[in-house]
Structure 1
Amino acid sequence: MTDAAILGRPAAAGPAPHQPIQALMIAIGQEIFAIETAMVREIIDPVPLTRVAGAKAHLPGLINVRGNIIPLADLHERFGMPAGQTTPDTRIVVIEVEIDEDPVTLGIIADKVHEVSEVSRANAQQTPRIGMNWRPEYISFITKWNDEFIIVPNLSAILV
């Protein structure tokens, strides 16, 4: 039983550097990530995963979403976090992202989906170069939302 919610379509051009963006806030581990709503196609309950032999750890397999076979990304591994456990709050966020100038549809495991909110680029900070378990190119920028730091990931870099 999937509860789909269509959230947006791709934008013709990206927002200006200091324009706020509309983003879906999701939890992965203890971190809050912001996914631009223009990338989000729908949010679904977890579905069975078909593991793929030899797949990269952050792309463990494939899922079937209404007859479409799409890869599933687990960002816990990419960000050096312990593997997530499926809970009643777990969702799959189906997104479309450009990789090598081609649109790719895939699912991202979210431990919890929060809300759609505006994210300000005006207070954006670069990713610190030390003390992190991930590569800085995985992050577009870090900013604040509801008095906590959020990460706006560079999904094109993370998923390759």
Structure 2
Amino acid sequence: MANIIAHQKSSPQIDHESDSAQQYLTFQLGGELFALDILHVKEILEYGHVTPVPMTPTFIRGVINLRGAVVPVIDLYARFGRGLAEVTRRSCIVIVEVQHEEERHDIGVTVDAVNEVVELPPAEIEPAPAFGAKIRTDFIAGMGKLDGRFVILLDLAKVLSVDEMALLAEMGQGDHGNGE
């Protein structure tokens, strides 16, 4: 599978005033279409061996060795409170870069299947809904209109908040043990 390498953007916010289109990586998760700003995506890997880590919340699948670096892998489906995602032959790990204080961290997120990179002009992006989504509204940066349907644009800083995930781990959220 081809790697996608991109540069880090300074802000995860959607610029509704700009008329230039932004690029997003679209992917399937639990039968729904999601997207991440391509500037946060470093590469896409086939789902391979993930080493479970004892005493971690369910949404932490484990860690992988990425060119000598230990990278945590987060099950997005479980992070959204829906249980562990089923791993299939189309499952992928998307390596993203998130900013935490002054440091940047690589984190892997599991998705059911990667679709494509699309461009969305700001005019095709609506604000996050106040209700009706099956995930926390603070995880949603906006709703993009793509080929007559909506794609959920994720706010990566909120979904992969290092502080929040550490707090959930301390509180024992997700019944320790990652089900492996």
TM range (shorter): 0.7 to 0.9
Question: Equivalent residue for 1:158?
Answer: 159
What is the one-letter code of the residue matched to 1:138? F
> Identity of paired residues, percent?
29
Correspondences of 1:86-97 after superposition (within 5 Å): 86-97=87-98
**What secondary structure sits across from 2:126 in the alignment?**
coil
Q: Which residues of structure 2 form unaligned runs of 5+?
A: 162-180
1:26 aligned partner, one-letter code = F
* Number of positions where the alignment pairs a residue of Structure 1 with one of Structure 2: 158
> 3-state DSSP class of the match of 2:23?
strand
Residue matched to 1:136: 137
Determine whether 1:47 maps to 2:45.
Answer: no
Q: CA deviation at 1:13?
A: 6.3
Q: TM-score of the superposition, structure 2-length normalised?
A: 0.78
- What value does the CA root-mean-square deviation take over the aligned residues? 2.1
CA contact under 8 A between 1:44 and 1:92: conserved in structure 2? yes
CA offsets 1:1-24 (integer angstroms, 9 cap, x no match) = xx3413311135677434421111
Per the normalisation by structure 1, the TM-score is 0.86
Which residue of structure 1 aligns with residue 3 of structure 2?
5
Post-superposition shift, 1:152?
Answer: 0.9
**Which residue of structure 2 lines up, in the alignment, with residue 124 of structure 1?**
125
Instruction: Give the Cα–Cα distance (whole angstroms) in 2 for the partners of residues 16 and 111 of structure 1.
Output: 28
Q: Aligned to 1:38, what secondary structure does the other structure show?
A: helix
User: 1:17 corresponds to which residue?
Assistant: 16
Aligned partners of 2:136 and 2:114: how far apart in 1?
24
Tell me the alpha carbon deviations over residues 85-122 of structure 1, each in whole angstroms, 9 at most, x when there is no partner: 22221111111111334211011111111111102322
Unaligned runs of 5+ in 1: none
Moved over 4 A (4+): 12-15
Structure ranking higher in helix proportion: 2
Work out whether 1:111 is the aligned partner of 2:112: yes
Matches within 5 A, 1:66-105: 66-105=67-106
Kept after mapping to 1: 8 A contact 2:144/2:152: yes
The aligned counterpart of 1:147 is 148
CA distance in 2, matches of 1:56, 1:100: 23
CA contact (8 A) 1:25 1:34 kept: yes
Look up the SS of the partner of 2:123 in the other structure. Answer: coil
Choose 119-128 or 45-54, whichever is displaced more. 119-128
- After superposition, the C-alpha distances for 1:19-63 in whole angstroms (9 at most, x for unaligned) are 421111111111111111111111111121122223233223111
The worse-fitting range, judged by mean Cα deviation, of 112-121 and 5-14 is 5-14
Separation in structure 2 between the aligned mates of residue 59 and residue 21 of structure 1, nearest angstrom: 29
Of the structure 1 ranges 124-133 and 7-16, higher mean CA displacement relative to structure 2 is found in 7-16
Cα gap change, 1:150 to 1:110, in 2 (>3 Å): same
